[in-house]
Amino acid sequence: MTGSCRAFQSGALSSRPFYFRASVFAPKKTNMKAPIEQISRVETKSRILVIEDDPAVSILLVKILKSHGFDVCAAATGTGGLRLIEEQNCDLILADIDLPDIDGFEICRRIKQNPKLRPVPIILMSGRLAEGNEALALKLGASDYISKPFGVNNILNKVSARLREVKGGP
């Protein structure tokens, strides 16, 4: 495998820009074709969009979800998240409520107003103990709500349950 290191920066609208470095690896070119079972596994992998402005939380969520077989993309702002929702075919959205530009409630409103995106489950998260956050999230069409700090099993159980509901699995 060959590799390189790339630097990434959060969007310009973020009040707390962050940078991180990630190693990017590309497999060497070969004439071998991927086995059929590997291709079908990739095609059925659920894609999750994480919208979180805290870099530590975002990286943690991405690592947790990827380590459990999910395809994950991330945005640091609500605007960036809405752009990715339009560009990517996401199966589930995991969004923070307290974002620097557009809050998670507004993201939920906009997604649920779009007939094409309406079926996509949204799980809203917040570290604030504001009374009524969970009720408002559910009223706006969120599928679930997670309080921070969260446990790994809590995240995985809620994500899996919401995906099963949409995909009709066991």
The reported pLDDT for the residue numbered 138 is: 95
Instruction: Name the residue type at position 149.
Output: P
pLDDT surpassing 70 at residue 73: yes
Tens digit of pLDDT for each residue in 123-166?
A: 999 988 777 899 999 999 999 999 999 999 999 999 999 999 98
How many CA atoms are closer than 13 Å to the CA of 125, on its beta-carbon side?
A: 22
Q: How large is the angle between the packed helices 55-67 and 152-167, nearest 10 degrees?
A: 60
The structural domains of the chain, ordered by start, are 45-167 (3.40.50.2300)
Find the helix packing angle between 104-113 and 78-87, rounded to 10°: 30
Cα 40 from Cα 125, distance rounded (Å): 32
Predicted local distance difference test score (pLDDT) of residue 169: 63
Query: Sheet holding 144-147: strands in order across?
Result: 71-75, 47-51, 92-96, 122-126, 144-147
